[in-house]
Amino acid sequence: DGMTTSAWIAAVTRGADTGLWATWNPEGAAQEWKELQDGASQSVDVGSDDAFMLQANGNFWIFSPGSSSAWMVDEAFLVSTSTGLAPANPVDATYLFERLWVLQGTKLYYTTLLPTAFSAFDQSAQSLDVSPRRQAEAVAVVSWRSGPNASLIVFFEDSIEEVIVDNSTVANSTRNTLSETVGCSSRDSVVLVGEDIVFADQYGQIRSLRRTITGEMQGVAVEPLSARVSPELPGRAKKGCLGKIRCALHRELLLVAFARDVDDDPLDVMVYHTSRGVWWGRWRFPRPIGNWLGSRIRGEGEDLFFTDGQTLGTGAAGPQVVIYRMFTKETVDQDVSSTASP
């Protein structure tokens, strides 16, 4: 699930079929859902747990594992697919210097410069090798900083690489190894916080990229941000579910959702004040957290929403999808399984 500036976009699974939907009235009595594309006709499993979305260049981009194409939803909510084969089984994607960058294995694929229309991928000619010094699983990629100092940060399960992009001749881009010991456990834990990046390391500890780099340069071990709450996080985080840690930034608050003890889904949240360095929590939620969604859709400053991490039963039109607004005990979509919605 994701959103644009004026609408929710949801990928909904219906048995063997999936579909892509949007609503132009997220908070009205009738959500006015409209199907944008039939998932089966495009052979894109947008309902997969490993599918992910990216908002960039004024458009909305959807990638899915096992597919040789990607979707783009433009500002007019028209759906098109990539004109070249996107990398199969992508791990993550980001946007920098008017290009899409897609992480798959130890390769970072990139598009031609993006116009309004969907640019093509050329897998044979447009990729960079981001292999770490030893074999490791790729986890996430994110663009860091802005302007001429911008770069790409590639997280592996036990290391971190930086790609300094030469946008005129991408093949001449250079790499730095930022850490050979600190990695990342969850793509959804990576969050930009001002000029820093916060992420969950391979042990479930919450770390600052800037502090990690400083420690590497000085040859000292740097405490994670979560050191003060280590008995709870990562102490009570379920080890087999570290990949489900999901972070979100809301104003100055960093919210960290995680699966605790015997839970298989994120039901607990720890909260970190990024300016004061203070932790709060633990907050226990009655429903699992699927995706965090930041939004200015009401025009009253940014709100924070999250999707329910599980399907709440099914009806004639398919499963229900519920979106909650934080800090109000309120759901936006009480039941979108009516005939006018997914």
pLDDT tens column, 184-239: 999 999 999 999 999 999 999 999 999 999 999 999 989 999 999 999 999 999 99
Residues 309/303, Cβ–Cβ less than 8 Å:
no
Lowest mean pLDDT of 69-73, 258-262, 328-332, name the range. 328-332
Does residue 341 surpass a pLDDT of 50? no
Pairing of strands 246-250, 253-258: antiparallel
pLDDT band at 151 (very low <50, low <70, confident <90, very high): very high
* 340 pLDDT more than 60: no
State the sign of the Cα–Cα–Cα–Cα dihedral 154, 160, 162, 163.
negative
Strand boundaries in 6-118, DSSP class E: 8-14, 17-23, 33-38, 52-56, 59-63, 71-73, 79-81, 92-96, 99-104, 107-110
Q: Given a cut of 70, is residue 73 above it in pLDDT?
A: yes
Kindly tell me the sign of the dihedral angle through the C-alpha atoms of 272, 249, 71, 79.
positive
Q: Is the pTM of this model over 0.75?
A: yes
Which residue shows structure tokens 């802005």? Answer: 146
Lowest mean pLDDT among 179-183, 301-305, 327-331: 327-331
